[in-house]
């Protein structure tokens, strides 16, 4: 197991002019921009644009905002800053922040996969079996399709039933191509279409705390899941 080498610090800023009254006069909020992949570390820009290295759009940040005021706010390390719209297997449109509040166990797969994905599904199922009943309602399992063109909500719903995962603690997501690519970058998952309905991809299961912050990753197929299970229990128990 190893945490992804590249971890994104994403900040989506929504500050109204009215909130300026609460700012200290000597600490004015300034909008700046930074690469979501942090290709250049903490380097910031003072106008919109794209990263000269990875070409992703620069994300807005507040130069003076580093610490959360309370648990209702979203940290800059959270996937809940991503504003991409997703469709669930029930054809409901959501943003990732709507999954806030539970420990998330997430994996990227596609339904026509015949090799690695069935094993990843089995790994997810085995992890779920190891979680004590007292934590069942505090953990949510999320499957993100890397083939949004073919993995429609209808197909994802069928896939959930085929794998006995059509219960409330499982969510299957279809995004846009750009949204899926952005999310894959967050998880350090690499994938590439090698032919119609076939992809090569990383095999990574990621664990996020209820605030959407990455706390653990399990890489590989059929690996010992003890560390992953322990981290899920630790996170869900807080």
Q: Domain range holding 94?
A: 81-236
pLDDT at 157: 97
Number of Cβ within 10 Å of residue 73's Cβ equals 11
Q: Say what percent of the chain tops pLDDT 90.
A: 53
Residue 213 has pLDDT above 80, yes or no: yes
Could you tell me if residue 52 is inside a domain? no
| Structural domain count, the chain | 1
pLDDT at 30: 56
Q: What is the pLDDT of residues 53-99, one digit of tens each?
A: 777 788 777 544 444 444 567 788 899 999 899 999 999 999 999 99
* 139 Cβ neighbours under 8 A, 6+ residues apart: 102, 103, 104, 105, 128, 131, 169, 232, 236
Return the CATH number at 207. 3.40.30.10
pTM: 0.70
Max avg pLDDT among 40-54, 58-72, 140-154: 140-154
Residue 5 has pLDDT above 90, yes or no: no
Max avg pLDDT among 17-26, 33-42, 46-55: 46-55
Could you tell me if residue 171 is inside a domain? yes
Q: Which two tokens stand for residue 185?
A: 């970058």
CA distances (Å), origin 45, targets 32, 34, 51, 113, 121: 6, 6, 10, 41, 41
Q: What is the pLDDT of residues 174-208, one digit of tens each?
A: 999 999 999 998 888 888 888 777 788 888 999 99
Residue 25 has pLDDT above 50, yes or no: no
- When pLDDT is averaged across residues 137-146 and rounded to a whole number, the result is 95
Could you tell me if residue 191 is inside a domain? yes
């Amino acid at each position: 197991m190893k945490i992804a080498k590249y971890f994104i610090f994403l900040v989506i800023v929504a500050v109204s002019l009215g909130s300026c009254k609460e700012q200290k006069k000597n600490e004015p909020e300034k909008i700046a921009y930074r690469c979501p992949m942090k290709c250049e570390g903490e380097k910031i820009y003072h106008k919109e644009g794209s990263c000269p290295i990875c070409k992703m759009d620069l994300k807005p940040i507040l130069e003076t905002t580093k610490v959360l005021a309370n648990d209702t706010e979203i940290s800059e390390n959270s996937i809940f800053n991503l504003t991409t719209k997703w469709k669930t297997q029930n054809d409901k449109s959501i943003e990732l922040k709507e999954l806030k509040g539970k420990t998330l166990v997430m994996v990227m797969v596609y339904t026509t996969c015949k090799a690695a994905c069935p094993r990843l599904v089995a790994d997810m199922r085995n992890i779920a079996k190891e979680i004590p009943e007292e934590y069942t309602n505090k953990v949510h399992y999320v499957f993100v399709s890397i083939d949004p063109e073919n993995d429609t909500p209808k197909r994802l719903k069928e896939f959930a039933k085929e794998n006995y995962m059509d219960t409330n603690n499982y969510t299957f997501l279809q995004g846009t191509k750009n949204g899926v690519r952005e999310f894959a970058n967050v998880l350090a998952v690499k994938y590439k279409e090698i032919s119609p309905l076939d992809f090569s991809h990383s095999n990574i299961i990621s664990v996020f705390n209820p605030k959407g912050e990455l706390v653990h990753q399990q890489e590989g197929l059929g690996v010992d899941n003890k560390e992953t299970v322990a981290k899920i229990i630790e996170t869900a128990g807080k």
